[in-house]
Amino acid sequence: MDPKRIHPEEKVDFTGWEFADGKFGELAAEEVAKAIEEQLVDDPPWISLPTIWTDDDGNGGPPVTDPLTIYITLPLGKMSNHGDAGGPMFSFTLREFLEQSLEEVNGNWSNDDAALLLRVENDLRSLADWLRDKRTEIEKTMRDETVVR
């Protein structure tokens, strides 16, 4: 899945980075930033759910143990024979993300926060219902295929 870029006006920019000091550094930083920006437009970072693979994580690693694990790949690596760019990959679980996000509030809760959490809770419940329906559909398809054979 390619994530949607929400602030396309925000471009890759190395202004103020230590390596971009001096005239040569500025020119190099501009060219590198331009190349990265073009790559991110042509081939955005992608998100995957590695639990869908059974034998490994879909990238040659061991299977994930937490089904809510999410991978994000920045397509800034070596090009494959298929024309895909590899690149740095990051991992987190949905639970870790939610826990860390809530910890950042640091107990300074408001009624708005409670309402927001209720919305998240309801959306997650709706998503769980959708997953249950999808699983039931798959199980029915598998039973039907078994009967046909």
19 closest CA partner among 35, 30, 9: 30
The predicted pLDDT at position 47 comes to: 92
Q: How far is 37 from 1, CA to CA, in rounded Å?
A: 19
The predicted pLDDT at position 98 comes to: 92
Q: How far is 127 from 122, CA to CA, in rounded Å?
A: 9
Q: How far is 57 from 51, CA to CA, in rounded Å?
A: 7
In the chain, what are the domain boundaries?
1-42, 45-108, 109-149
Given a cut of 50, the residues of the chain with pLDDT beneath it are: none
pTM of the model: 0.77
The predicted pLDDT at position 114 comes to: 85
